[in-house]
């Protein structure tokens, strides 16, 4: 089969299409024919060697069809999402024509959407759902700040927050992204740099929740703009992963606020975080009904993987990028 194989750690030029042996589904696994896969920030870190020794075939998610399920739970040809479960990290991932995935990380779904549209959903929407409705307990009428809102995960969160009838402020890094954030559900948009003043004008008592996808550079400010009882979830590192110098909860964590982290790459499919907690079919149905805007920002051919990663490195994706197999 064809697969995209990293030759060594480094830039996009290290990703080459090669012929490799087709995987076999062992006990507790499912073999999936990959139809399309999303591009994720984690795969940039894998390629650069920032997460240590990882599989040469990357990819943490895909949409495709079942080729073989040794347990007989899923039918051959059934449409599925596959995500996480060590894909691209501790085992070969979805940058290939087919992939063997732990059965707990394969989710059946029914949809007439095109494969590129389906491939834009699994990782971004699962993570956004868990962050918003588990970590942040978002409910109708809550005021939420989403930082890094025009990333793939940020756009998914915007759509889901609007679906939940929350009031949403988004932050973006560049003025040209303001319209995109509004189109995906933001009531207000702030350009990073003067966020605290903008938030406190919009919500003088502070917001109920913050989903911070920028990372440690903005975390302390995110805590300061929440109200009493407010929740902050950090789930991304768009601004880098530097240390907060001498972090002291007594000094830096305002009284009565809650801080949490969600790392989807490490937990989905485990007993603590079964994928059945995420309503994938409902999300697909909402996309089909036009209630969620989830079309990929860019679609690449399999052979154009280097171009996709160059755009990832440049931070110019403007949403979810998808590769067709």
Residue 12 · residue 313 · CB < 8 Å: yes
Q: How far apart are CA 296 and CA 287, in angstroms?
A: 12
62-79 mean pLDDT: 97
Q: What is the pLDDT of residues 209-266, one digit of tens each?
A: 999 999 888 889 999 999 999 999 999 888 776 677 777 787 778 899 999 999 998 8
- Report residue 61 CA to chain centroid gap: 10
What are the structural domains of the chain? 2-120+266-324 (3.90.180.10), 135-262 (3.40.50.720)
**pLDDT in the model for residue 314:** 93
Q: What is the pLDDT of residues 144-193, one digit of tens each?
A: 999 999 999 999 999 999 999 999 999 999 899 999 999 999 999 999 98
DSSP string, 110-159: ---S-HHHHHTSHHHHHHHHHIIIIIS---TT-EEEEESTTSHHHHHHHH
Q: How far apart are CA 121 and CA 61, in angstroms?
A: 9
**pLDDT in the model for residue 205:** 95
- The answer for 7, left when phi > 0, alpha when psi is -120 to 50, beta otherwise, is alpha
Q: How far apart are CA 213 and CA 222, in angstroms?
A: 11
Residue 140 · residue 161 · CB < 8 Å: no
Q: What's the number of CA atoms in the CB half-sphere (13 Å) around residue 87?
A: 35
**pLDDT in the model for residue 56:** 98
**pLDDT in the model for residue 81:** 98
CA dist 228 to 204, 205, 209, 281, Å? 12, 9, 10, 35
Closest to 100 measured CA to CA, from 119, 115, 85: 85
Query: What does the mean pLDDT of the chain come to?
Result: 95
Q: What is the pLDDT of residues 38-56, one digit of tens each?
A: 999 999 999 999 989 999 9
78-98 mean pLDDT: 97
Q: How far apart are CA 78 and CA 39, in angstroms?
A: 23
Q: What is the pLDDT of residues 261-300, one digit of tens each?
A: 999 988 999 999 999 999 999 999 999 999 999 999 999 9
């Amino acid at each position: 089969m064809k697969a995209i194989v990293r030759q060594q750690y480094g830039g996009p030029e290290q990703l080459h299409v090669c012929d490799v042996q087709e995987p076999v589904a062992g006990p507790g696994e499912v073999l999936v024919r990959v139809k399309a896969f999303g591009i994720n920030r984690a795969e940039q870190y894998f390629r650069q060697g920032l997460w240590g020794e990882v599989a040469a075939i990357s990819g943490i998610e895909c949409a495709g069809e079942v080729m073989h399920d040794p347990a007989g739970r899923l039918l051959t040809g059934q449409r599925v999402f596959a995500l996480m479960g060590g894909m691209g990290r501790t085992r070969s991932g979805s940058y290939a024509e087919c992939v063997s995935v732990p059965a707990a990380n394969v989710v059946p779904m029914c949809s007439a959407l095109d494969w590129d549209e389906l491939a834009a959903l699994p990782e971004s929407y699962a993570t956004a759902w868990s962050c918003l409705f588990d970590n942040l307990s978002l409910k109708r009428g809550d005021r939420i700040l989403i930082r890094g809102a025009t990333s793939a995960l940020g756009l998914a969160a915007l759509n889901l927050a609007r679906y939940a009838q929350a009031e949403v402020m988004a932050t973006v890094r560049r003025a040209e992204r303001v319209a995109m954030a509004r189109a995906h559900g933001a009531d207000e948009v702030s350009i990073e740099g003067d966020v605290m003043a903008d938030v406190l004008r919009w919500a003088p008592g502070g917001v109920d929740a913050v989903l911070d996808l920028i990372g440690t550079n903005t975390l302390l400010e995110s805590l300061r703009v929440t109200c009493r009882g407010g929740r902050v979830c950090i789930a991304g590192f768009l601004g880098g992963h530097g240390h907060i110098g001498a972090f002291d909860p007594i000094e830096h964590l305002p009284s009565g606020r809650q801080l949490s982290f969600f790392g989807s790459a490490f937990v989905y499919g485990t007993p603590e975080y079964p994928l059945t907690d995420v309503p994938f079919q409902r999300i697909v149905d909402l996309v089909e009904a036009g209630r969620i805007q989830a079309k990929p920002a860019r679609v690449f051919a399999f052979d154009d993987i280097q171009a996709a990663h160059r755009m990832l490195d440049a931070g110019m994706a403007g949403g979810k990028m998808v590769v067709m197999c």
